[in-house]
């Protein structure tokens, strides 16, 4: 069965959010009496939610405790909500790729471990309100990625029949594999390990390659499960 829906991860896949996440992390660290972290260091920490980011930030600047993490959550989220798209921008080629996929009749959706209110706010700030048929965040269901139900529920919310998933990390790869959904990985996101090792059906290095990647997977789906290509 060929796909009628393309589902995307958000941070590190559609949007480079590292700048705003860095600013919010450093704000929270400052509230907790810690020194700021260089943006290059933060980039490798993002992609697993606010608490994990705070854990890593605290560990990098001194002692990390559950109490300190909890104390940092509110200042982090408050700062981030107020500054959600100061530096965040779509990766190169994203909007033409989305336009092309919609022109071909695909429905678009987002499945992210970002809290849904923040994800919706970011999408709106980028001028994408109405572009996606569904957006499910970390708190949209009792489960989140890598639980495959997060991805399959996103497909259902988009009224889709079958999907191709686009992500950037092991979490995305594990989610797609568990859901039995073909996977495109981007090489420019926030993965902390080589994306070539994560088992993508297709790996792309620029969004200009997404539409051809989808066509490749669609062709493979007519013959069975996609194979892995680079």
Q: Which residues form the catalytic set?
A: 9
Judged by phi (left if over 0) then psi (alpha if -120 to 50, else beta), residue 38 lies in: beta
Cβ–Cβ under 8 Å, residues 163 and 155: yes
d(CA 10, CA 90): 10
Closest CA to 22 of 80, 75, 73, 64: 80
Contacts for 52-55 with beta carbons within 8 Å, 24 or more apart? 53/21, 53/25, 54/25, 54/28
Helices 66-82/50-61 angle, 10° precision: 120
d(CA 7, CA 160): 10
- Please provide the distance, in angstroms rounded to a whole number, between the alpha carbons at the two ends of the chain: 22
Return the ∠ at Cα 195 (arms to 26 and 150), rounded to 5°.
75
Cβ–Cβ under 8 Å, residues 26 and 94: no
Judged by phi (left if over 0) then psi (alpha if -120 to 50, else beta), residue 159 lies in: left
H or E element in which residue 135 lies:
strand 134-136
């Amino acid at each position: 069965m060929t796909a009628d829906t393309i589902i995307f991860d958000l941070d590190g896949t559609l949007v480079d959010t590292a700048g705003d996440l860095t600013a919010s992390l450093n704000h929270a660290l400052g509230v907790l009496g810690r020194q700021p972290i260089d943006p290059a260091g933060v980039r490798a920490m993002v992609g697993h939610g606010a608490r994990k980011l705070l854990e890593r930030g605290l560990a990098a600047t001194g002692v990390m405790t559950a109490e300190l993490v909890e104390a940092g959550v509110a200042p982090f989220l408050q700062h981030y909500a107020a500054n959600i798209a100061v530096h965040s921008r779509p990766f190169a080629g994203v909007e033409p790729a989305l336009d092309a996929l919609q022109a071909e009749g695909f429905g678009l959706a987002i499945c992210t471990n970002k809290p849904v209110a923040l994800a919706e706010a970011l999408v709106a700030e980028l001028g994408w309100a109405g572009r996606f048929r569904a957006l499910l965040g970390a708190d949209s269901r009792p489960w989140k990625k890598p639980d495959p139900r997060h991805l399959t529920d996103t497909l259902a919310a988009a009224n889709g029949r079958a999907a191709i998933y686009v992500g950037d990390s092991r979490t995305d790869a594990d989610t797609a594999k568990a859901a039995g959904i073909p996977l495109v990985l981007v090489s420019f996101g926030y993965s902390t390990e080589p994306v070539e090792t994560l088992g993508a059906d297709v790996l792309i290095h620029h969004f200009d390659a997404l539409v051809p990647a989808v066509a490749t997977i669609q062709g493979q789906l007519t013959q069975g499960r996609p194979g892995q290509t680079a």
